Amino acid sequence: MAVRPITIIGHKALHQPTRRVREVTDDVRELVADMFDTLEAADGAGLAANQVGVRLRIFVYDCAADDDVVQRGVVINPVLEKGTVPPGDPDPGELEGCLSVPGEHFPTARSDWARVTGTDLDGNEVVVEAQGGTLARCLQHETDHLDGKLYVERLTPTYRTQARDAVKSRGWESARITKWDPLQQEAEDV
């Protein structure tokens, strides 16, 4: 399979809701395989299809649950359920990052509990549930991507300003730099 370039904040594919997958075709299977390759090359925890420029409701994940056991999988047409997100500024140690905002990490409030239901590549029901840990955060983060929302849009005002400054200093607000190759670790002008 192949490693695909990852879209960067400002790219329109990241700011639009994705479309439901109606049928798992060979192209969808190839996309999922490429997404796993891309996720591994970028050393990420999760990757949504629109992060590689495809507006389909699919994400892959490879991260630890609350028991530190690594879980890996794909969810097609995910539906998210989650607990309450604590109000106010999050703990400064609750850093979240994103492959579409490379090199930046900001404290982000998330629910401790999350469950995603959907299907796998064979049409079987998938239920992924996590209480705390990276997996609970990942399920919420990737589903947000598929809804056209980035984690920096969930930041409290304190951290949102820092994120805006970081995006501006990297030149991403112009959307001139729209992709980066995890194998080369550099943003590309497109």
Counts of helices then strands in the chain (DSSP H, E): 3, 10
Element (H, E) at 108: none
145 is in an annotated binding site: yes
- Whether residue 142 lies in the annotated active site: yes
Does residue 11 have a known ligand-binding role?
Answer: no
Rg value, the chain, Cα: 16
Flag whether 141 is marked binding: yes
Sign of CA dihedral 160, 163, 165, 171: negative
User: Which one of 142, 173, 186, 188 is the catalytic residue?
Assistant: 142
- Cα 109 to Cα 125: distance, rounded to the nearest angstrom: 29
CA nearest neighbour of 82 among 111, 104, 124, 41? 111
Print the SS3 string covering 65-99. CCCCCEEEEEEEEEEEEECCCCCCCCCCCCEEECC
Active-site residues: which are they?
A: 142
* Bind-site residues for Fe cation: 98, 141, 145
Annotated binding residues, written as ranges, equal: 98, 141, 145
